[in-house]
Every structure is written in C-alpha cells, then in structure tokens.
Amino acid sequence: MGRVSGKVAIIAGAGTGVGAACMKIFAAEGAKVVGVGRTRGTLEQALAQARQAGGEGRIVVADLARPEGAAQAVHETIAAYGRVDILVHSAGVGYSWNEKSPGSMADVVNTTPDKWHEVMAINLDACFYLCREVIPHMRKQGGGAIVNVASISGMVGLPVAHTYTAAKGAMINLTRSMCVAYAADGIRANCISPGFIATPMVAPLLNLFDDPSMADRLTPMKRPGTPEEMAYGCLYLASDEASYCNGTVLVIDGGTTARQ
C-alpha cells in the first residue's frame, strides 16, 4: 500500500477498461486521482470505485481529442490539487468503435480520410494534447511520470485497423522521444503495450477465446488479460519503484508477441 502516496494522478480514459482499473488501483495506493473522459456516467462509476478503495479524487468531463479538452483537464487538476505528478493516458478507441463508426477499423484502402483523422484524433492527438499541457507543470515542480497505454498492435503489422496501429506505433515513439527530451527535467515517460485485454474496446474479438485452438494462437496463456493486470503495469511505471525506467515499452500480452 502507498506506492504512489501523496501524488496527484490524471487518468485519461478513466471511465472504462484500463483507465477505470487505474482509478481504483492508484487511489488504493494513495494517489489523488482525477478521472477524465467524455461520459459522465462511467466516470462517476469509476470515481465511486476509487473512493470505495479508500482514495480521494474527482472527475473532469472533457473531449481530449480537442486541445481545449486537455487544457480543461489539466487546469481543473491544478486548481483542485496544485500539482500533477502522474499522467496515465489510457483514452482511445479500438475494434468496438467500428460499431459506432463503420469503416474506422479498416485497412488503408478501405479507410476514408475522415475515418483516419477521426481515429488519429482520439488515439494519438489526445495524447499529444495532454502531454503538452502536463509537461510544463511537471517541469516547474521538478519532475513527474507519464505512462501512455499503447498496444502490441503498434509493434506488429495487422491486416486491418491500420489507423489504430499507426496511432499506437506513433504513441510508442512519441513516448521514447519525450523520454529523451525531458529526462533532465526529472520527467520520466514510459508506456505499456497490452495484448488482448477483456475490455469494451476489444469486445468484438473476445469470443475468439471460446475456441481452444484459436485461444492458443492468440496467446500462450490462452486467455485475455484483465484491466487490473494492465493497471498494475501502469502503477509500477508511475511509481518511484521505476525510477530508472525511462523510454520503456512494457509489453503485457501473455506471450503473444513472443511468437512473432
């Protein structure tokens, strides 16, 4: 207990999946958590779980795919707590987004420019906007930790979801570049790269694990990971335990990429 005690953590994409798990786990480990996302209802549920875990926090309803949304999130955090020590960026859309936005998870030929910009704005631009707002405050206070939630899809080629894979690959290299640029300011930038995780984002693919032979092809562990397993990876990278981790890409995929 207390691995991030006394720290202020912005959790982007806090309403569901990995972000919601980070809200609960970071709060239980002593951080004041600020959950940011577009949907008030899910954010309130995540905040309730964080408080049940004994933590303190608040929510900010904002569209992080717009620069003013990121500015609002950081402004409200500073106004409430006076600092920001940790940024966990878990906001994004995945395969389930195709149900709301058909064509958004297609290959290059079948992706329109509008769909490309839509997914890039949510999955990559939002990360840029938030980091751009947070880093000056971290510099001023003498340091901080940024943890971006990328994906193994940003490390290997896929036949579909090309905008998604491009965004996640770019997020990995943006993280590495921030590591190089801001280490002297005491700011560490790392990311996790999850594999198949049981979250709403990849819900359309989870039934593949019902077939034992397919489950074995997807990962040697033959099951999807949990949001909590990803959140503990984020917690480690955000904590002082990872004080020499900078530019790290922590793959948490049950062994999927070990076969690549």
pLDDT for 50-106, tens place per residue? 999 999 999 999 999 999 999 999 999 999 999 999 999 999 998 889 999 999 999
Question: Which pLDDT score is estimated for 177?
Answer: 98
Mean pLDDT for 229-249 is 98
CA Rg, the chain, in Å? 17
Indicate which residue of 81, 164, 182, 232 is catalytic.
Answer: 164
Question: Which pLDDT score is estimated for 17?
Answer: 95
Q: Which residue has the tokens 């402004």?
A: 75
> How far is residue 181 CA from its own chain's centroid?
21
Q: Is residue 85 part of a domain?
A: yes
Q: Is residue 84 part of a domain?
A: yes
Q: CATH number for the domain including 220?
A: 3.40.50.720
Q: What is the pLDDT of residues 16-48, one digit of tens each?
A: 999 999 999 999 999 999 999 999 999 999 999
Whether the per-residue pLDDT at 4 is higher than 80: the answer is yes
Q: What is the pLDDT of residues 69-78, one digit of tens each?
A: 999 999 999 9
How many structural domains comprise the chain? 1
Question: Which pLDDT score is estimated for 232?
Answer: 98
Can you give the residue range of the structural domain that contains 173?
A: 8-255
For residues 230 and 227, give the distance between their C-alpha atoms in angstroms, rounded to a whole number: 5
Question: Which pLDDT score is estimated for 128?
Answer: 98
**164 noted as active-site residue:** yes
Q: Is residue 247 part of a domain?
A: yes
Mean pLDDT for 133-148 is 98
- Percent with pLDDT over 90 in the chain: 87
Q: How confident is the prediction for the chain on average, in pLDDT? A: 95
Tokens (6 digits) for 240: 């002082």
pTM above 0.85, yes or no: yes
Burial of residue 207 (number of CB atoms within 10 Å: 0-12, 13-18, 19+): exposed
Q: Is residue 260 part of a domain?
A: no
Q: What is the pLDDT of residues 200-225, one digit of tens each?
A: 877 777 888 888 888 888 899 899 99
Please enumerate, as own/partner, the contacts of 48-55 that have beta carbons within 8 Å and a separation of 24 or more: 49/20, 49/23, 49/24, 50/23, 50/24, 50/26, 51/27, 52/24, 53/24, 53/25, 53/27, 53/28, 54/27, 54/28, 55/24, 55/26, 55/27, 55/28, 55/30, 55/31
DSSP code per residue over 57-69: EEEEE--TTSHHH
Find residue 33's DSSP bridge partners.
9, 57
Question: Which pLDDT score is estimated for 76?
Answer: 98
Whether the per-residue pLDDT at 226 is higher than 80: the answer is yes
Q: Is residue 185 part of a domain?
A: yes
Whether the per-residue pLDDT at 180 is higher than 80: the answer is yes
Whether the per-residue pLDDT at 260 is higher than 80: the answer is no
Q: Is residue 1 part of a domain?
A: no
Q: Is residue 52 part of a domain?
A: yes
| End-to-end Cα distance, the chain | 37
